[in-house]
Amino acid sequence: QTIYLEDYKPFGWIIDDVHLTFRLHPTATRVISRIRFRPDYDVHHRPFFLHGEGLKHISIKVDGHEVEPTHVDGGIEVDVPEAPFNWEAEVEINPEANTALEGLYMSNGMYCTQCEAEGFRKITWYPDRPDVMAQFTVRIESTASHTPVMLSNGNGLYTSTDQTQKDTPSVTIYQDPWPKPAYLFALVAGDLIAHEDKFTTMSGKEVNLAIWVRPGDEDKCAFGMEALKKSMTWDEEVYGREYDLDEFNIVAVDDFNMGAMENKGLNVFNSSCVLASPETSTDANFERIEAIIAHEYFHNWTGNRITCRDWFQLCLKEGLTVYRDQQFTADMRSEPVARIANVLALRGRQFPEDQGPLSHPVRPESFQEINNFYTATVYEKGAEVIGMLRTLVGADEYSKALDLYFDRHDGDAATIEDWLQVFEDSTGRDLTQFKRWYSQPGTPRVTVREDYADDTFTLHLSQSTAPTPGQDDKAPQVIPVNVGLLNPNGDEVMPTQTLELTETEQSFAFPGHATRPVPSILRGFSAPVILDHDIDNARRAFLLAHDTDPFNRWESGRMLARGSLMNSIATGAAPDLAYLNGLGAVLRDDTLDPAYRALMLGQPSQTELAGLLHDTGDTPDPEAIHIASEALRDAKAAALADVLPDLYQANQVKGAFSPEAGPAGQRALANAALSLLSRSDAGKQAAAQYQQADNMTQQLAALSCLLDAGQGAAQLASFQVQWAHDRLVMDKWFSLQIIHANPQDAATTTARLTEHKDFDMKNPNRFRAVMGALSMHHAGFHYRDGAAYALLADWLIRLDPLNPQTTARMCSAFQTWKRYDPARQEKITTQLDRILSQPNLSRDTTEMVSRIRDA
């Protein structure tokens, strides 16, 4: 059941075009496919196998003659001529019964599809593999009363839908001129309202844009539409990429396993990733929505026009597209703030993955269920790899290489080898060693030693990567290490240079420094590595005060916070004064962007601290970590008592709400200050803010502060009444209570919420709002009674038969089990074994739990 990269074989048949007819019915949709196949004579062995899963066979005709297929695992085999032929098949499917949300399913009365990675085989017989590309024409048959709006990929060719003739049959036809793999197919039908706009591309073509939503959500589309237009402009200006159809549609769907999907010309979004209004969405929501709209739009070139040969190449489109959306966010907002946010996400999600039982290469070499590989490693580390490549070759060479990539591979289903070849050809650089970033999992550790003699400052760098499952020996990688030098007054004496660390050990000399300089290493987090640099607090405080690289300046504060916390955890020592004083100075510096200062106020998460302790050979005690983290917050509140009220006041935003980076940053800083202030004023200021709030950012921040202060019961109740009608806000209401529960109460709070009438396990957003919140509450999830482990396992077992994908993803909550003490380990493995012993456990969940368990 394991599939290997090295076993790749081309399909053997070429499809010229595909005609699909859908006769929509909630429980018995008919799908008729007419496909022209011809042999690919370059391929010698051409068995005719088509994928298909859960399809009710009605008929299959080859060149007009009825044939009987042979049913084999995952599809059918059919005797076909060794010559071009016409295929015609009819199947029946049941969208209403489709709770896995893969293939054609219903969400709140609306038909929608999710085909990536292998969902098209649940719609009809087809070579459901990304290297088979074809032109699709789609005919949808229904009635205006059943589905007033019908959409598919490409351009609308024809519709007979007449909204005054509700029950007469209606037909809509879409045609997509661009050959595409089946995973990019989409169909949506239902009662939808459009928020429309237009965009004129750089060559003067007009594109009709629409965001389709359920009635009642039409006032939440404006922000997404602006984000879409900004994305279209940005991709023209920065990558020279123009949109290539007459229309571009986005649909918001309530039940969706992931964030969004880049189907050609018809992006389908989890409603949480597109619907936005000031009253219901936080600044963080706005920022995420802007990034995801951009991400899906950018896929039109990196993913759709150039797609992947097979699913092992997933990072070819995802790493590059994440990298592009990160560049976009940096351009739209603040570059340093965006970089820090990306590194926080990488360390928060990718590092634990890369350093635990689920570790896999950016380009995996085997899998059982590809849906399990839509991971932080493929996406976020995949993006870091692109960023390193750009750092190594330089911005101009990167642009040239990308032009060549689009030129050479437009219309292809490509590989990582193709991608690297483009860079080799265009820059002349040998990327043999660089390629290890794609095949070698694990987080490299770079250790730094300094030397200074005869006016020469020397950095001795060494690298090593710990063994990962199935790969013990690691070869050295090319690591771009950005370095700058400061003099003891804090002036920069050497601007940022990129050192290329290619050996296990390497030294870099910087002559001509009459005084010993202070290095700033791994500026901008130029590589996804762990930096091991043993320097004292005075040095860190100096860099916190003076580093000219904003990322490293923040990182110095982070390192001080980290050291202080580790010390408190180990010895119960009070928080470190060097950190608190340095932080105070940064916060008082009004020349610094409020969003950046808000990030400075943060501290390492409890999960991160557990990882660090494990790293240094200690067993993390979740309770001790929790206590130390809270103590540091208390110490900050006390040490910053004179600056917090000013920060809070000075960053109140007047006037109409704007989700732009400037005011959002001010709100972030004011709310970070409020959360510390609330530790000493019993939530008085927070209660006032809650009372006055006219936007979700302010309302939710105030409520969080109240809950942390052990208050807020009344506000929580009124919040529920106020927002009972809004699913996405109610998701926040569910999460909030778990996030702010005391560790010993987290499991019981969660269990109580699962009994709430609005808890719906079939809705992935709601399930994640509850179970995801529990698994991210470090001290609560790992509370010593093990109740949270059992509760999560109970619900995973319940969800698995309905929705394997969402179940499997959530199993990663257990991936760090080896970090903990024997008692906790035993409690976790008991639950993992209980999950594994379920009869008919899905392939998705079986693979995830076995990998975690076998660590």
Just list the catalytic residues: 296
Q: Choose from ligand ARG, Zn ion, none: what does 172 bind? Cβ within 5-8 Å by kind.
A: none
Nearest to Zn ion of 176, 318 (CB atom): 318
Q: Choose from ligand ARG, Zn ion, none: what does 774 bind? Cβ within 5-8 Å by kind.
A: none
Q: How many CA atoms lie within 13 A of 442 on its CB side?
A: 20
Nearest CA to 847 out of 366, 310, 439 is that of 366
Nearest to Zn ion of 375, 842 (CB atom): 375
- Smallest gap from Cβ 524 to Zn ion, in A, equals 24
CB atoms within 10 A of CB 110: 22
Euclidean distance between the first and final Cα of the chain, in Å? 20
Task: Compute the distance between CA of residue 492 and CA of residue 819 in angstroms, rounded to an integer.
Answer: 41
- Smallest gap from Cβ 373 to ligand ARG, in A, equals 8
* Residues of span 483-522 touching ligand ARG by CB under 6 A: none
Stretch that binds ligand ARG, among 21-29, 259-267, 648-656, 782-790 (CB under 6 A): 259-267
- CB-based contact 140:23 (threshold 8 Å): no
Stretch that binds ligand ARG, among 111-119, 233-241, 551-559, 601-609 (CB under 6 A): 111-119
Q: How far is CA 516 from the centre of its chain?
A: 43
Nearest to ligand ARG of 260, 600 (CB atom): 260
Task: Compute the distance between CA of residue 522 and CA of residue 515 in angstroms, rounded to an integer.
Answer: 22
Nearest to Zn ion of 303, 480 (CB atom): 303
Nearest to ligand ARG of 593, 844 (CB atom): 844
**From the list 258, 422, 647, 808, which residue makes contact with ligand ARG (rule: CB under 6 A)?**
258
**From the list 371, 603, 704, 845, which residue makes contact with ligand ARG (rule: CB under 6 A)?**
371
CB atoms within 10 A of CB 609: 23
Helix axes of 222-239 and 283-298: crossing angle, nearest 10 degrees: 50
Site string for ligand ARG, 113-132 (x = CB under 6 A): -x-xx---------------
- CB-based contact 345:291 (threshold 8 Å): no
Query: Does residue 296 bind ligand ARG (CB under 6 A)?
Result: yes
- CB-based contact 732:719 (threshold 8 Å): no
Nearest to Zn ion of 338, 383 (CB atom): 383
Stretch that binds ligand ARG, among 51-59, 252-260, 454-462, 568-576 (CB under 6 A): 252-260
Backbone φ and ψ of 49, nearest 5°: -120, 130
Query: Does residue 262 bind ligand ARG (CB under 6 A)?
Result: yes
**Using alpha carbons only, how large is the chain's radius of gyration in Å?**
28
Nearest CA to 361 out of 422, 315, 310 is that of 315
Query: Does residue 273 bind ligand ARG (CB under 6 A)?
Result: no
- Smallest gap from Cβ 269 to ligand ARG, in A, equals 10
- Smallest gap from Cβ 805 to ligand ARG, in A, equals 6
- CB-based contact 749:741 (threshold 8 Å): yes
Query: Does residue 261 bind ligand ARG (CB under 6 A)?
Result: yes
Six-digit token string for 452 = 């200074």
Nearest to ligand ARG of 291, 493 (CB atom): 291
- Smallest gap from Cβ 299 to Zn ion, in A, equals 6
Element (H, E) at 179: strand 169-180
CB atoms within 10 A of CB 524: 20
- Smallest gap from Cβ 693 to ligand ARG, in A, equals 32
Query: Does residue 374 bind ligand ARG (CB under 6 A)?
Result: yes
Can you give the binding site for Zn ion, defined by CB under 5 A?
318, 321
- Smallest gap from Cβ 377 to ligand ARG, in A, equals 14
Q: Choose from ligand ARG, Zn ion, none: what does 844 bind? Cβ within 5-8 Å by kind.
A: none
- CB-based contact 818:357 (threshold 8 Å): yes
Nearest CA to 468 out of 451, 445, 447 is that of 445
Query: Does residue 354 bind ligand ARG (CB under 6 A)?
Result: no
- Smallest gap from Cβ 97 to ligand ARG, in A, equals 19
Six-digit token string for 571 = 């010895």
Query: Does residue 318 bind ligand ARG (CB under 6 A)?
Result: yes
Q: Starting at the edge strand that comes first in sequence, how are the strands of the sheet with 518-521 ordered?
A: 492-501, 479-486, 518-521
Task: Compute the distance between CA of residue 463 and CA of residue 476 in angstroms, rounded to an integer.
Answer: 7
Nearest to ligand ARG of 12, 364 (CB atom): 364
Q: How far is CA 684 from the centre of its chain?
A: 37
For ligand ARG, the binding residues (CB under 6 A) are 114, 116-117, 257-258, 260-262, 295-296, 318, 371, 374, 805
